[in-house]
Structure 1
Amino acid sequence: MQISMPRGAAHGWGVAGTYLASEIARLEPLPGVTLHGIRTVALDPFDPQVWDQINIGYCFFEDTITVLEYARQAAQRWDYIVAGSSWCEQHLRIGGVRNTTTILQGVDSSLFYPGPKRNLAERFVIFSGGKFELRKGQDLVIAAMKTFMERHDDVLLSCAWYNQWPFSLATMELSKLINYRHREGACLEILAETLSANGIPLDRVILHPLLDNQQMRQVYHNSDVGLFPNRGEGGNNLVMCEYMACGRTVIASDMTGHADVITAGNALPLTSYRPFHYRHHAEGIWFEPSVDEIIEYLEYAYSHRNELRLKGLQAAADMAQLTWSGAAAQFHSLAAKLSNKRLH
């Protein structure tokens, strides 16, 4: 079984491709089968030249309206399309894809595990991760943190927002919550300018550069709570799951791909949403949390730190069930069934 996906340690597809290739290589060979990463809302493979006798696609998408234009045709082309979340699977089925299921991304427990907060012990640190774009909701973070930081002098914001793709950064111009005017330039400079322009004091912000996946554990450990008010997630959100695996509680949306992992037992789930019609390079329906509710949960977290520790332990236990070896086994089992069906 071949793997046609990017490899790397600084972006989601690269992490997934690296782990799945390693884990599937340990399993029984299945010649004539290729697992492809799907790179566009048109459900195209990353490398169309690597086409096999049996082809399984793995997809994460948030453009839930645009994808319907391509779903039925894609269903005829692919032997099977695996979704990275049950939300994506639902939309594939709406579009006419019958050969589909959900396989969640794993978490490497040898890298991400609970540990103490070694630095910034006197500060209450909020972590926010994911590339800076409208879908990830950092404008919601900024709007809520402005008020929260005005109330509490000991609060810091730790941001892992580096974005390598300017077209994605530009989507933040659609926000009605912050002032953002896209320009070309160094990402960290743009992020600092945006934070400052929207009332966040930079001396109370830690802006992380693009870090290798293996460097993130200490960033996660040196915070008290994570904030993930994402409007739309095609997968279970690798950064959020790694953060939870480190024994940290998140304040997070429980819609779209987050719904597969967020519970009242392992997180502080946001509950108030309005539909968000996204239209930029493509189109979809997302869910926008309430800034007021985010602030309420930040205040709750600030005042209930023992509860954060308990929820964090449950989060770590729940994330321990998400393994890359488990995901690989699911893909391998599916591929074996398709191979047997083809032979008979």
Structure 2
Amino acid sequence: MALNGIGINWRIGSFYGWGIFGLNLAIELVRKGDIPVALLQEPDSLDIDTASRLLLSSRIQDARNLERQLKKNAGAQAKIDAAIIHPATFDFDLFGSPSVKGSSDVCFIFFENTEFSTAGIKRANSFACVLAGSQWNKDVLQDKGVKDVRLAHQGVDLSIFHPAPRRNLFSDRFVIYSGGKLEYRKGQDIVVEAFRIFHQRHSDSVLFVNWQNMFSDIGVEISHGGIVDVEPRKLGKGKGLDIEKWLADCGLVPESYVDCGLVANKDLPSLIRESDVALFTSRCEGGTNLSAMESLACGTPTILSANTGHLDLIADGNCYVLPEQSGCAPTDKFPCTEGWGQSSVEELVETLEKAYRDRDKARAIGKKGAESMISWSWSNQVDNLVLKLG
């Protein structure tokens, strides 16, 4: 399809996956300047540097004006001469503005639930093409009957996520970092239980968690894994979860963990780089797990579960791998978990032991991780996306 422009039909932001994806996509397209780009919804909770804000300021104002115009004229449709990217979740449930159409319309999807309805596949095939965020997502969609599926990975912002000297703010502790919103599919119950055992052996260890979930009304279901038996308390709409209490309820001793709260994306590198190891035990990733990519890019030795979207990241020697993966029980939120994998607590404990005992080898793995992420820059990935749309 000829590209007269690209429209981003979701809210860019600094605190959740889709928002960060859209933010970096917009910045890179505007920076390159080859193709006009339009934001079609007003941003949500932006915490960005001044230069990026200046770069996007006119697009942000245009998005505000468009939203006001559409709200003022109920039922109105905006037709834009551009390829509009419409976001979708499970079963091609669209969550962008339904009032905006392009000269061509494409769908971008990240999904974990592998059950699709006939109506969902029909919605998918109504688009010019479907962009999938991982090879696993692409393979599943093709198997389900989606006709034109194209792989388009997310990128990582190498201007901030890169190796740099540690400040050694916690030099007397073995710091373990884990990111991603708290929920069943992210596997934080596996992390908590493994760390509980590990900390009994190594009292100098501390777990830094960046797990806040501002979408907890959708369902956390963390106890469904059979590893912990308590759910985190919801603090109210828009306030997230009481993660500190949940960690204590799961048996972690005081001062062995730190809840980092809701951290803006731009502030994460200094936290990640102070860590001795990062770990991500997701049962499923529809994309490639932006948090894991950021840790790899910082040169922090990273532990990854070997399933779904993580498989696109794993390369020879660039991370610690958890190959032992068992089946996962379905939940109300995820009724079909075909292709998912549950990591072994015992294997994770032993992997942490390896990183603890041999710091030189861990640093070498971290170095390879950073090198493997160079080709995953947003510049490269946006070029690939434009190519897939062309």
Give the secondary-structure state (helix, strand or coil) at the position aligned to 2:376: coil
Measured in 2, the distance between the counterparts of 1:299 and 1:203 equals 20
Q: Is 1:288 equivalent to 2:342 in the alignment? A: yes
Alpha-carbon offset, residue 42 of structure 1: 2.9
Alpha-carbon offset, residue 323 of structure 1: 1.6
Task: Return the letter of the residue paired with 1:57.
Answer: C
Give the secondary-structure state (helix, strand or coil) at the position aligned to 2:85: strand
Give the secondary-structure state (helix, strand or coil) at the position aligned to 1:52: strand
Aligned mate of 1:94, from 130, 143, 157: 143
Q: CA RMSD in A?
A: 1.8
Q: Is 1:142 equivalent to 2:192 in the alignment? A: yes
Measured in 2, the distance between the counterparts of 1:108 and 1:45 equals 25
Task: Return the letter of the residue paired with 2:16.
Answer: H
Equivalence map 1:202-221=2 (5 Å):
202-221=254-273
1:167-194 superposed Cα distances (whole Å, 9 cap, x missing partner): 3453213231112135432667621111
Give the secondary-structure state (helix, strand or coil) at the position aligned to 1:283: coil
Instruction: Look up the match of 1:84.
Output: 133
Change beyond 3 A, Cα 1:189–1:167 = closer
Alpha-carbon offset, residue 294 of structure 1: 0.6
Contact kept in structure 1, 2:216 and 2:240, CA below 8 Å: no
Measured in 2, the distance between the counterparts of 1:57 and 1:275 equals 30
Equivalence map 1:322-337=2 (5 Å):
322-336=376-390
1:190-211 superposed Cα distances (whole Å, 9 cap, x missing partner): 2111111121113121110101
| TM-score, normalised by the number of residues in structure 1 | 0.92
Measured in 1, the distance between the counterparts of 2:335 and 2:101 equals 29
The percentage of aligned residue pairs carrying the same residue is 31
Is 115-124 or 92-101 further displaced after alignment? Answer: 115-124
Is 265-274 or 2-11 further displaced after alignment? Answer: 2-11
Change beyond 3 A, Cα 1:36–1:19 = same
Is 221-230 or 166-175 further displaced after alignment? Answer: 166-175
Task: Return the letter of the residue paired with 1:288.
Answer: Q
Alpha-carbon offset, residue 24 of structure 1: 2.4
Equivalence map 1:130-169=2 (5 Å):
130-169=180-219
Change beyond 3 A, Cα 1:183–1:222 = same
Contact kept in structure 1, 2:224 and 2:329, CA below 8 Å: no
Contact kept in structure 2, 1:125 and 1:158, CA below 8 Å: yes
Q: Is 1:20 equivalent to 2:25 in the alignment? A: yes
Measured in 1, the distance between the counterparts of 2:26 and 2:158 equals 17
Alpha-carbon offset, residue 117 of structure 1: 2.7
Measured in 2, the distance between the counterparts of 1:23 and 1:113 equals 18
| TM-score, normalised by the number of residues in structure 2 | 0.82
Task: Return the letter of the residue paired with 2:209.
Answer: C
Instruction: Look up the match of 1:341.
Output: none
Alpha-carbon offset, residue 45 of structure 1: 4.8
Instruction: Look up the match of 1:59.
Output: 109
Instruction: Look up the match of 1:7.
Output: 12
Change beyond 3 A, Cα 1:110–1:28 = same
Is 203-212 or 188-197 further displaced after alignment? Answer: 188-197
1:33-82 superposed Cα distances (whole Å, 9 cap, x missing partner): 212222443342522221222111111000012x3544531232111100
Give the secondary-structure state (helix, strand or coil) at the position aligned to 1:35: strand
Instruction: Look up the match of 1:122.
Output: 172
Aligned mate of 1:271, from 323, 329, 335: 323
Task: Return the letter of the residue paired with 1:167.
Answer: D
Contact kept in structure 1, 2:182 and 2:220, CA below 8 Å: no
Measured in 1, the distance between the counterparts of 2:86 and 2:371 equals 30
Return 5+ residue gaps in structure 1 as ranges: 337-344
Alpha-carbon offset, residue 325 of structure 1: 1.9
Return 5+ residue gaps in structure 2 as ranges: 1-5, 38-80
Aligned mate of 2:230, from 175, 180, 186: 180
1:231-260 superposed Cα distances (whole Å, 9 cap, x missing partner): 000011001101110001111112100000
Instruction: Look up the match of 2:46.
Output: none
